[in-house]
Structure 1
Amino acid sequence: MAAISRQELELPGWPQFGDEERGALIRALDQGQWWRIGGSEVDEFEREFAAYHHAPHALAVTNGTHALELALQVMGVGPGDEVVVPAFTFISSSQAVQRLGGVAVPVDVDPDTYCLDPAAARAAVTARTKAIMPVHMAGVVCDMDELDKLAADTGAPILQDAAHAHGAEWRGRRVGELGSPAAFSFQNGKLMTAGEGGAVTFPDAGQYETAFVRHSCGRPRTDRSYLHQTSGSNFRMGEFSAAVLRVQLARLDGQIATREQRWPLLAGLLADVPGVVPQGSDARCTRNPHYMAMFRIPGITEERRNELVDALIAGGLPAFAAFRAVYRTPAFWESAAPQESAEDIARRCPVSEELTRDCVWLHHRTLLADEEQIHLVARIVAETVAAVGSGV
């Protein structure tokens, strides 16, 4: 088979932007008020984002990590409280807990969807559990039926980490209408972006108002005497970011539609590659925005997987090694660590251990390419796995 030149592969760039974003920035500039208290862009973005996700309330913040931290604080998480998190996730899921002095309790994930395993979460709940944090991995919504039952049975509420799930649906319902807070990220690689940024949707007006005060240094909206009511920090989003995000939100539906069309094609092609297993889904996840195109190569070593990723990048693909299990990082053990070793956790997280070694993902801009390009992507993966992954 002839080698593919990088010139043949023409994937869309990211972020995608145009005159609409430029116009929005000028609009924000011309206000003459560039922070949320005096301007209107953040307020309008919050209304539009909440409506899009069918949520009663949305609060825009500085980034997705702060969104998680703020939501956990509003839910009452503090020193010594336990929060169940997936072992396989980006480190912000656990660090947001630990920044509040809470103990992140990693549990295993489903081998097909890579989402939090409800049975493993149930086994990890104790009298000290203050919250359960499912991560909608790569846009696949977690089993919210079982997790909602778990929350009802144990009294430990759900906080959805929806950093990958803008526009996702579970049984036809958007993430914002599932009855629990959801935290989103607008970091540069996310499904909609202003470089950085985040948001939390809330089902409850009281939680939203508490979050607003805490995200503004504990200061109420109308305060003029610096009478700070509660502890907090400055997590306020600026007007320029919100202006860009309003346009990015308007682009989102069309991009999701394209990715939903392209993923079945790419997944089918990847499934035909010897040794490659694409991420699965759940039929109850009725809309998947596909933050990543993820696949596994079971049996490969971590070193060989990393070599494979390097080779894919050399072939022109935006490829990444998947997340390392959070307990396999030095950062996890720096503060508020659980009273067990990494090996103890690993014994109850075999799937996360495997994903740490054998999982690869391609950036979602891959799925915005046309069908011819999708075939080229699969061909590059096949040839690279055959060459680099021959030691599997």
Structure 2
Amino acid sequence: MNDRVEQLLADLPRWPRYGDEERTNLVRALDQGQWWRMGGSEVDSFEREFADRHGAPYALAVTNGTHALELALQVLGVDQGSEVIVPAFTFISSSQAAQRLGAVAVPVDVDPETYCLDPEAAAAAVTPRTKAIMPVHMAGHFADMDALGKVSADTGVPLIQDAAHAHGAEWEGRKAGELGSIAAFSFQNGKLMTAGEGGAVTFPDEASYQEAFLRHSCGRPATDRRYFHQTSGSNFRMNEFSAAVLRAQLGRLDEQIATREQRAPLLAGLLAEIPGVVPQRRDERVNVNPHYMQMFRIPGISEENRNALVDRLVARGVPAFIAFRAIYRSDGFWEYAAPAETVEQVAARCPVTEAINADCVWVHHRSLLGTEEQMHAIAQVVAEEVART
């Protein structure tokens, strides 16, 4: 590798990004003298700002993205014996959030180009026990919300958007909170906004928000002084320091999205010129893609060779990762509340996920905050290493 390429990759932006805004906000939270949401103001302020940014009437900040999904599912009535349709290709929290409630997670296949939930496969999986359909906006790219909305309307099964990757995304000019369904977000350390951990749920109506508030605070109303717990629940409350950091992170989100929206098409175009490399396709109905990851496939590569390729990319300075393992190919998926099928039976009806499980690579979104020259450097190294595969 020539010295210039090596230096360009070494100088890629770090993650998380932070500055004086986070420091100022943390001191402000500290000086309140009240560090939990019932006594301070940072969580309340962040919820209003996050809801406004995502076009939602209400937002509730919680401890992490997994809890955001679990809480959202509980508000929709998901419980033991229910079924929840989830993409077979996703992070396992999508299924585990349902399984923790005793619901059976039903994996269905994804689109081969966008890697998002296949609406036809979702429709075919609906049964009288289905309580929710959970599309994941993979790598910031919206699932087909038109087709999935029709499935929901035809079956009466509500959608819940797993928007862990989709901060600031837009579908046909509408944000996640404007699509009429609950959406759950993550602020884990690698996400587009982060406080190390954290999550949020947006709601289209007050009733679902109020129920969620109770359940995220052990079933206790905000004004209760007599320990009158109106519902079951748990402690999913966000602390004031996390909210203070996230307010600063939200403040720089749009600028970062604008940069990634410039760099991602360039890098995708360069990757598409490499023989054997197929980048994630963008649906023209996606107005804004925040680009959680730059994803691409190498159809026909073995999982072993894909893994070795990623190791070589990392060794050369490209922040690459293997894509998510198919959820049904992790032992944790089968521990409880799993479908009455074998791994191979699920795999047989999820051929796209099976392929992605072996051939998909992603490059961390921090790279897309770099320069155009750095995009060329990434593509050059990918081309050289794919040629060696």
Q: TM-score band, normalised by the shorter chain?
A: over 0.9
Q: 1:121 to 1:240 in 2, by over 3 A?
A: same
SS of match in other structure, 2:120: helix
Kept in 1, the 8 Å contact 2:69–2:94? The answer is yes
Residue-by-residue CA offset, 1:95-114 (whole Å, 9 max, x unaligned): 00000000000000000000
**2:301 aligned residue:** 300
Q: Percent identity?
A: 73
Kept in 2, the 8 Å contact 1:101–1:336? The answer is yes
Structure 2 counterparts to residues 168-179 of structure 1, below 5 A: 168-179=169-180
Shift in Å at residue 281 of structure 1? 1.2
**1:133 aligned residue:** 134
Shift in Å at residue 6 of structure 1? 3.0
**1:7 aligned residue:** 7
**2:230 aligned residue:** 229
Residue-by-residue CA offset, 1:240-299 (whole Å, 9 max, x unaligned): 000000000000000000000001110010001111100001111111000000000110
Q: What's the Cα RMSD here? A: 0.9
Kept in 1, the 8 Å contact 2:5–2:377? The answer is no
Q: Distance in 2 between matches of 1:11 and 1:386?
A: 23
Q: Distance in 1 between matches of 2:99 and 2:123?
A: 21
Residue-by-residue CA offset, 1:102-150 (whole Å, 9 max, x unaligned): 0000000000000000000000000110000000000110110111111
**1:196 aligned residue:** 197
Kept in 1, the 8 Å contact 2:218–2:229? The answer is yes
Q: TM-score, normalised by structure 2?
A: 0.99
SS of match in other structure, 1:251: helix
Q: State the AA in 2 paired with 1:72.
A: L
Kept in 2, the 8 Å contact 1:321–1:361? The answer is yes
Q: Distance in 1 between matches of 2:335 and 2:195?
A: 30
Q: Distance in 1 between matches of 2:19 and 2:49?
A: 20
Q: TM-score, normalised by structure 1?
A: 0.98
Kept in 2, the 8 Å contact 1:4–1:380? The answer is no
**1:186 aligned residue:** 187
**2:34 aligned residue:** 33
Q: Distance in 1 between matches of 2:265 and 2:38?
A: 45
Residue-by-residue CA offset, 1:136-195 (whole Å, 9 max, x unaligned): 000110110111111111010000000000000010000111000000000000000000
Structure 2: which 5+ residue stretches go unaligned? none
Shift in Å at residue 2 of structure 1? 4.8
Q: Distance in 1 between matches of 2:250 and 2:200?
A: 13
Structure 1: which 5+ residue stretches go unaligned? none
SS of match in other structure, 1:89: coil
Q: 1:24 to 1:2 in 2, by over 3 A?
A: closer
Shift in Å at residue 5 of structure 1? 5.5
2:24 corresponds to 1:23: yes
SS of match in other structure, 2:281: coil
Kept in 2, the 8 Å contact 1:186–1:198? The answer is yes
**1:220 aligned residue:** 221
Question: Stretches of 4+ moved more than 2 A in 1?
Answer: 1-8
Shift in Å at residue 382 of structure 1? 0.6
SS of match in other structure, 2:288: coil
